[in-house]
């Protein structure tokens, strides 16, 4: 193949991949609607015509570094540093969750103001025994 043919095929494949990725996202969103999550769980399983489907809800946390620095200045190192690494990422999500729930409202708000939560859903489909779930 010459470079023109390779370039054309590469472009066509990228276009197809983008279309397929978009279709896959739409299908996964529809599959996620069938998920029944057990109490307190973020993962659900179901089968459909010999396919095992797993749906997982997730959250992506993004921290505003300027707001975290301001929170550290107000809270002080004794309160702040057990929760966050020096890059101002939480040490453990469960500790931060506990602090947000149980700290005085003004302290909790300093932390939640620095947080952006982006929900996400992951779906995987495997061919398999529908009785295995």
- Residue 14 belongs to a domain: no
Q: What is the pLDDT of residue 131?
A: 61
Residue 82 lies in a domain: yes
Whether 41 is covered by a domain: the verdict is yes
Asked whether the beta carbons of 44 and 37 are under 8 A apart, the reply is: yes
Residue 21 belongs to some domain of the structure: no
Q: Give just the sign of the alpha carbon dihedral 67, 68, 70, 75.
A: positive
- Owning domain of residue 41: 36-132
Calpha distance 37→53 (Å, rounded): 13
pLDDT single digits (tens) 119-128? 888 777 677 7
pLDDT of residue 11: 87
Residue 1 resides in a domain: no
Is 2 within a domain? no
Instruction: Specify the number of domains making up the chain.
Output: 1
Residue 22 belongs to a domain: no
Residues of the chain with pLDDT under 50: none
Tokens representing 14 are 């990228």
pLDDT for position 132: 59
Give domain status of residue 18, yes or no. Answer: no
CA distances from 109 to 66, 74, 97, 104 (A): 15, 12, 12, 9
């Amino acid at each position: 193949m010459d470079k023109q043919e390779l370039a054309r095929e590469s472009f066509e494949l990228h276009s197809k991949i983008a279309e397929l990725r978009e279709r896959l996202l739409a299908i996964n969103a529809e599959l996620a609607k069938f998920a029944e999550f057990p109490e307190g769980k973020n993962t659900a399983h179901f089968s459909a015509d010999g396919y095992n489907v797993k749906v997982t809800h997730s959250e992506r946390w993004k921290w505003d570094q300027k707001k975290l620095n301001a929170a550290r200045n107000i809270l002080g190192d004794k309160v702040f540093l057990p929760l966050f690494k020096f890059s101002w990422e939480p040490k453990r999500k469960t500790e931060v969750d506990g602090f947000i729930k149980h700290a005085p409202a003004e302290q909790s708000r300093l932390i939640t103001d620095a947080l952006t939560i982006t929900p996400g859903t992951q779906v995987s489909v495997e061919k398999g025994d529908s009785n295995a779930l």
